[in-house]
Structure 1
């Protein structure tokens, strides 16, 4: 482990952003809990709007409009060109949808909590293929990890690799943030825990 210069201010700033976004998402969940809704992907999109918007506005402010400093470099060609990334994204989406093949082949009814319409199918695809990636990457890799890497020094060796402390803390923030799912999706959390006990 290299010498790490621990500055608490940058860490608390990013923790504050994470907590603010989490509170807004929980508030959206509470607001819609008592309202009937058919289209779960619309609610999922609403959850991800603050996760993109707040970090993006902070990036605009911190970079003084130079978004490239925080990873927004659409005009640059790199090893992973945008076409390649789009192909990887679509391939991954198709791969994830293969989990339904056993039910389809076995003529088992799929448990889908909303009407299977073209709008719902396209809405869910756009959410899973586009919205999740853009919002999470903007918040965690774009803002939190980049900001911490700019403001903290030092590396931690993990499995033989030197990882910047900003990367490690960004991963911790990302993992911790996803515990919000227990609050906004309690039934899934209970089912998951029961499943683990059966294994």
Structure 2
């Protein structure tokens, strides 16, 4: 639905290379749709979707821990990519407009929109019907399922003709990050901290790739 909505507009004037405008409108549309649904459910059913700051101590702990672990991962990955010579060039030119547009999308929209859907909404609703956990209560079944759905959302679909495009590494990468965001959401009882973690990871990953793109 969000994709069909985003398709209704022309972005040639502001984003001729297709770097950020369509995906930005897509994420705004999907976030608004789920936000309306969640606000209605919170009012009618009194469901708690983590709109508050929740447990700030737990939330900030996970944000700091994630920042350290993810930064280490990015540094190691960059070294491996550099030594192996497997860096993938961006599918669009790295102009000032494209760089700031893409980083702006990653910072302001990617985390808030996707965490609203795949953590705050999905885990809350799944936990109403799916019980149980892994590793002595450290990871809930609802979290795992939400993370799998989050990963599958990274598969590209075309219906006419039907086709699927995906990167196996990206699917595993998204699932692992999804579980990490989910743990933070469940422990902090707030969607704010997973949003910060998600936007942080995307901005760092894309930012480092942009810098590498200029260097390599």
Larger radius of gyration, structure 1 or 2? 1
Provide the secondary structure at the position in 1 that maps to 2:58.
coil
Which of 131, 147, 151 does residue 171 from structure 1 map onto? 147
| SS, match of residue 58 in structure 1 | helix
> When the two structures are aligned, how many residues end up with a matched partner?
163
Match for residue 36 of structure 2 among 43, 57, 60: 57
Structure 2 residue corresponding to 1:78, chosen from 45, 54, 57: 57
Stretches of structure 2 lacking an aligned partner (at least 5 in a row): 169-216
The corresponding residue for 1:4 is: none
Quick one: distance in 2 between partners of 1:165 and 1:91? 24
- Please state if 1:121 is matched with 2:99: yes
C-alpha contact 1:93 1:129 (8 A) present in aligned 2: no
Asked whether the equivalents of residues 103 and 110 of structure 1 are also in contact (C-alpha less than 8 Å), the reply is no
Alignment counterpart, residue 42 of structure 1, candidates 21, 36, 42: 21
- Which residue, out of 94, 108, 119, partners 1:141? 119
CA contact (8 A) 2:7 2:22 kept: no
CA gap of 1:66–1:41, structure 2 versus 1, over 3 A, is: farther
Report the Cα distance in structure 1 between the residues aligned to 2:48 and 2:97, rounded to whole angstroms. Answer: 37
RMSD: 4.6
Of 90, 105, 108, 1:130 maps to 108
Q: Deviations 1:62-96 (Å, cap 9, x if unpaired)? A: 112999921122376323339x8489669958975
Q: Deviations over 1:10-37 (max 9, x none)?
A: xxxxxxxxxxxxx332x246556x9753
Question: 1:19 aligns to what?
Answer: none
Q: Which residue of 1 aligns with 2:200?
A: none
**d(CA) in 2 for partners of 1:91, 1:125:** 21
Structure 1 position 144, deviation (Å): 1.4
